[in-house]
């Protein structure tokens, strides 16, 4: 047909991989859903693995292109990290199938590290490192905060949220409580202005809300 065959294959594969998993999806499943024979698929991709990698490759590339623009004009390291998180989480929510493949099916693959997807993901995360370094030299973050470790905390938390959301079949919004989680992480980063802590307004006489755990704050 037209030149959209490759896209049809990718779209079919994306759905099927995310839905049934990589192993349980057959080439026949994919080529049939794309309206082709098995053999024809091999005109577009070297094989099943190649196809698996092609999907997130495209997505991560898009992310990378968008990121600069998103952060443009935002002042302050904490604000930038915040923007990064909100932006990323929204992208994940809008492309859950791509995210699922990246988070659940790609790490399994031995070629992952050698792959371009991986280096692009690293580039994405290196933005975080830069922001943290900026925050440290401006004094917004603690002077003794090691940037690479702070990045590990940030990325680790973020990835954990996404992974669990995907495993739980995205049955809730990723934005639930995002604000609070971000605050917890940031509290570990920020300088301690020897007084007036943003969060000390409660200073509960403790023991009071022993068992409150669902709905918090205010």
Partner DNA sequence: ATAATTACCTAATGTTATTAGGTTGATTAA
Partner DNA sequence: TTAATCAACCTAATAACATTAGGTAATTAT
Question: Which residue of 3, 73, 196, 205 would you call a contact of DNA, by CB under 7 A?
Answer: 3
Structure tokens at 57: 């490759």
When the beta carbons of 3 and 196 are compared against its own copies, the nearer one is 196
The CA distance from 121 to 61, in Å, is 9
42 binds DNA (CB under 7 A): yes
List, in sequence order, the alpha helices (H) in 21-146: 27-33, 38-41, 48-71, 77-94, 96-100, 116-138
The nearest distance, CB 21 to DNA, in angstroms, is 11
Question: Which residue of 5, 79, 115, 120 would you call a contact of its own copies, by CB under 8 A?
Answer: 79
The CA distance from 196 to 218, in Å, is 18
197 binds its own copies (CB under 8 A): yes
Question: Which residue of 7, 19, 21, 49 would you call a contact of DNA, by CB under 7 A?
Answer: 49
In the three-class reduction of DSSP (H, G, I as helix; E, B as strand; rest coil), residue 107 is classed as: coil
φ, ψ (nearest 5 deg) of residue 3: -85, 10
When the beta carbons of 5 and 70 are compared against DNA, the nearer one is 5
The nearest distance, CB 216 to its own copies, in angstroms, is 5
Question: Which residue of 4, 23, 119, 126 would you call a contact of its own copies, by CB under 8 A?
Answer: 23
């Amino acid at each position: 047909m037209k030149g959209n065959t490759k896209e049809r294959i990718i779209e079919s594969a994306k759905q099927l991989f995310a839905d049934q998993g990589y192993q349980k999806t057959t080439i026949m499943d994919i080529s049939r859903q794309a309206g082709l024979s098995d053999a024809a698929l091999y005109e577009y991709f070297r094989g099943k693995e190649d196809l698996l990698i092609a999907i997130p490759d495209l997505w991560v590339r898009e992310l990378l292109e968008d990121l600069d623009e998103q952060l443009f004009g935002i002042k302050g390291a904490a604000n930038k990290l915040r923007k990064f998180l909100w932006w990323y989480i929204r992208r994940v929510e809008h492309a859950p199938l791509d995210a699922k493949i990246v988070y659940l099916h790609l790490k399994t693959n031995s070629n992952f590290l050698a792959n371009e997807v991986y280096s692009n993901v690293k580039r994405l995360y290196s933005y975080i490192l830069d922001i943290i370094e900026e925050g440290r030299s401006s004094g917004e973050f603690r002077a003794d905060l090691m940037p690479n470790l702070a990045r590990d905390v940030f990325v680790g938390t973020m990835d954990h949220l996404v992974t669990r959301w995907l495993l739980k079949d995205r049955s809730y919004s990723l934005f639930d409580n995002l604000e609070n989680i971000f605050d917890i992480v940031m509290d570990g980063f920020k300088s301690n202005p020897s007084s007036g802590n943003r969060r000390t307004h409660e200073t509960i006489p403790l023991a009071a809300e022993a068992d409150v755990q669902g709905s918090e704050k205010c």
